[in-house]
Amino acid sequence: MKMKRRIPELARDGGYEFIKNAVLRVQQITTSFYLIWSFRSYKLNIAGSKYKRYLNDNN
């Protein structure tokens, strides 16, 4: 349904607005994914350092 509405917009704007919206959407997705990924890797690094300390204490 949405694509049928977007095709006339694409023809009217010459595709510029459509491409701009697509780029903005991709940027939002990538930035949110990057934030989630960096947060997860940060937590994993904390867990890994605690685990290494635990191994060093018990050897």
Domain total of the chain: 1
Rounded CA gap, 2 and 17, in Å?
15
> What is the pLDDT, as a whole number, of residue 3?
56
What integer pLDDT is reported at residue 26 of this predicted model? 92
What is the domain range of residue 53? 2-58
Q: How much is the pTM? A: 0.43
Contacts of 34 (CB under 8 A, 6+ apart): none
Q: Report which of 39, 42, 20 is spatially closest to residue 31, judged by C-alpha positions.
A: 39
Sequential pLDDT tens for the chain (59 residues): 555 666 666 566 667 777 888 899 999 999 988 888 888 888 888 888 888 888 888 76
User: What distance in Å separates the CA atoms of residue 55 and residue 41, rounded to the nearest whole number?
Assistant: 20
User: E-assigned strands of 1-59?
Assistant: none
* Residue 44, pLDDT score: 84
pLDDT for residue 25: 92
